[in-house]
Amino acid sequence: SPNANSSPDTHSSHAALSSSTAMPVEARHLVKRFGDLEVLRDVSLQVGEGSVTSIIGASGSGKSTLLRCLNLLERPVQGELTIADETIRFDRNRQGDIVGLDRRQLQRLRARVSMVFQQFNLWPHLTVLGNITEAPMRVQKLSRKRAIQRADHYLERVGMADKRDSYPAFLSGGQQQRVAIARALAMEPRVLLFDEPTSALDPERVSEVLSVIRSLADEGRTMVMVTHEMAFAQEVSDQVVFLDRGVVGMAGTPQDIFEGSHNERCRRFVSPAA
């Protein structure tokens, strides 16, 4: 394997990747610290094929960090993560180094889990088309022609085909976010992650983005979404996870969470007035 060439023998007894569950994403006992601050404390999560999971919770509870761990933008210090049948074990003694996982494998795993950010994060110096074709060409080695075909397909999907040659600065927030969704889709990932995708938008632009996300849910895409849009979470989710100070305070169906949760802090979070 390519990994055998790039990793010293000392790592060979710590096989980082192995075949495991059929879940697109499964986190087991994840722990993440920033210095002394333990942001995730033993978080486990299962995301079924074709399901929508919403992560809710107070600001600072660790929602973004959890999402970033699922995409390997952050490296947990303990626990296990399964992404599309490959399992990675995190070892606190090897912090910052995912044992046996080289750059190419990391890129491959990340490509299976595409993220949409609150602030869109489009490259300002690239056109809409350039933003969408960049990663498929660089990471997945698609030809320019194939990458453009794909980009046009997903731009059509999010209703942005007519803006393919525009630069991000000339688009509204809602339009930029729809382009960011097309960019994530163009990697043809197993799982889409959304981190508060509508929080940076003007109120009148929220619904155009939610309706794209709703249509992706309807076509059976596997998605994990951090959101403050409670009505939307209730409507589209199969599973809702209430993250509370770095632990899963409560997880269940929207009904479990929104209609009289047994968890006192969850109940207060979803209906502060009650």
Contact positions vs ligand ADP (CB under 6 A): 34, 37, 39, 57, 59-65
Q: Is 227 in the site for Mg ion (CB under 5 A)?
A: no
Q: How far is the CB of 199 from Mg ion (least distance, A)?
A: 9
240, 254 Cβ separation under 8 angstroms: yes
173, 122 Cβ separation under 8 angstroms: no
Residue of 94, 141, 134, 113 whose CA lies nearest to 53: 113
- Measure the CA–CA gap between 16 and 99, rounded to whole angstroms: 6
Binding mask 108-147 for Mg ion (x = CB under 5 A): ----------------------------------------
178, 11 Cβ separation under 8 angstroms: no
Q: DSSP states of 184-247 as a string?
A: HHTT--SEEEEESTTTTS-HHHHHHHHHHHHHHHHTT-EEEEE-S-HHHHHHH-SEEEEEETTE
Nearer to ligand ADP, 258 or 269 (CB): 269
Nearer to Mg ion, 56 or 158 (CB): 56
Number of residues that bind Mg ion (CB under 5 A): 2
- Measure the CA–CA gap between 164 and 186, rounded to whole angstroms: 14
Q: Is 61 in the site for Mg ion (CB under 5 A)?
A: no
13 binds, among Mg ion, ligand ADP, none (CB under 5 to 8 A by kind): none
Give the CB-nearest residue to Mg ion: 64
Map the footprint of Mg ion across residues 89-108, applying CB under 5 A. none
Q: How far is the CB of 40 from Mg ion (least distance, A)?
A: 13
Please give the single-letter amino acid code of residue 131.
Answer: N
Contact with Mg ion (CB under 5 A) among 51, 53, 61, 64: 64
34 binds, among Mg ion, ligand ADP, none (CB under 5 to 8 A by kind): ligand ADP
Q: How far is the CB of 220 from ligand ADP (least distance, A)?
A: 27
Integer angstrom CA distances of residue 163 from 34, 70, 130, 146: 40, 31, 12, 19
List of residues contacting Mg ion (CB under 5 A) = 63-64
